[in-house]
Amino acid sequence: MPLYGLFGEHTVESCPLYNEKSRSTVLIISERIDEVAKRHGVRFLGMYHSALEHTFVWVADAEDAHRLQRFAMDLDIASFNALKIVPLGTFNDLVEACKRLESSKPR
């Protein structure tokens, strides 16, 4: 399946560490995330947060970006985060693409 990064960002005011409503939402999300991910065909490979930057990136396998979008809306993570879904590749994919480009250059 294709690999995607789900990048999120929120304000200091809506940060779950400081905002009761957001904190409650995060705790509800933590209880529902596996079930909602399964329902939308999303599998997470990593979930990383930067508390002081008020950002996060979750790396996921999904059939397409729309599944990830529906997942985020269903889970309610979009209620206090601006989200961006970005297709990702591996470093090895980049190296192989560079090798193909180099081998196709006229000599």
Q: What CATH homologous superfamily does 3-103 map to? A: Dimeric alpha+beta barrel (3.30.70.1060)
CB atoms within 10 A of CB 7: 15
Q: Is the predicted pLDDT of residue 107 greater than 90, yes or no?
A: no
76 — phi, psi (to 5°)? Answer: 80, 15
Domain ranges of the chain: 3-103
Nearest to 9 by CA among 48, 43, 77, 56: 56
Reported as a single tens digit per residue, the pLDDT across 42-99 is 999 999 999 999 999 999 999 999 999 999 999 999 999 999 999 999 999 999 999 9
Q: Is the predicted pLDDT of residue 105 greater than 90, yes or no?
A: no
Strand order in the sheet with 3-9: 42-50, 55-62, 3-9, 82-88
Looking at the chain, how many residues does it have? 107
pLDDT recorded at residue 64: 95
Report yes or no on whether pTM surpasses 0.85. Answer: yes
User: What letter represents residue 100's amino acid?
Assistant: R
Between 54 and 1, name the one with better pLDDT: 54
